[in-house]
Amino acid sequence: MKKIIMTALMLSASAAGATPSTQIWIPSTDIQKYKVAHLNVDNYVAAQKEDNGTWKAPVFMIGPTIGVLPYEKVQAEAGFDVMKAGLPADSYPVYLHAKAGTPEGSLFSGSPALALGGYNFGLKKDVTDQDVVYGLAARNFGKLGRLSAGYFSGNDKVLVDENGKKANNGALLSWDRTISEISDKLWAAVDYQGGGSALGALSFGFSWAFTPNTSLLLGYDIYNNPKVAGADTFTVQLDVNLW
């Protein structure tokens, strides 16, 4: 569908993400077509105050993703994001991501879409370098929608819980579907990322395609470990194919 994923970078007690093509929060098996440049503009705003009565700073990110392989059955994309979260790590705002994979049905009849990738490759050692790598498989089941499942692992020096213990891996799960009964422009999704770091979250939302190249997503994120990630957030994500 979009970008995305989404949507997750642990910076102190705030979360955000350098976004390959995603669902709402997690990566997807979707990959930008060759030479298609995509721009994502994502915002995450706290839905409630923290336990100490303060508001978590909003997270803003913007960045391009472009398809880099000209093949039908083997595709790839790469890009970067610039992110700001009102934290000292904002001094190192650039994060890289890339992904390669095969579309559904490309290996054999009924084969799932497959993707291998990485995101949140920050440039400050043991501060912004989450270095998340992941694998995903996805398949459409008609009116039921598309189901995706996978696994991720990252830098265990950065992806930790509130006690500083490793929390650097976990499951990736999602459901998404175009709600064609209402409009082919309407898309909905629910996704989940496991683990006790700020990456762990359950997200749900929907998007509307205003044009074939422009869509706006509204979503909500519930974090697995609010002691690390902070309060739940609303997310607004604009996705535009530039060419």
- Is a pLDDT exceeding 70 seen at residue 1? no
- CATH of residue 182's domain is 2.40.160.40
> pLDDT tens digits for 139-181?
999 999 999 999 999 999 999 999 999 999 999 999 999 999 9
Residue 210 lies in a domain: yes
The pLDDT of residue 156 is: 96
DSSP β-bridge partners for residue 205: 189, 219
- 61 has pLDDT over 90: yes
Q: Which domain does 49 fall in, by range? A: 9-241
| pLDDT score recorded for residue 7 | 34
Distance CA 76, CA 101 (A): 6
- For residue 74, is it within any domain? yes
Higher pLDDT, 80 or 17: 80
Give the predicted TM-score (pTM) of the model.
0.89
Establish if 3 belongs to a structural domain: no
Is 230 a domain residue? yes
Q: Is residue 102 domain-resident?
A: yes
In a domain, 4, yes or no: no
In a domain, 134, yes or no: yes
Handedness of CA 149, 153, 159, 165 (dihedral sign): positive
In a domain, residue 217? The reply is yes
* Total domains in the fold of the chain: 1
18-31 pLDDT tens trace:
445 889 999 999 99
> Given pLDDT bands bounded at 50, 70 and 90, which one contains residue 132?
very high
Q: Got the DSSP string for 24-53?
A: SSSB-S--PPBT-EEEEEEEEEESS--TTS
| pLDDT at 157 (0 to 100) | 94
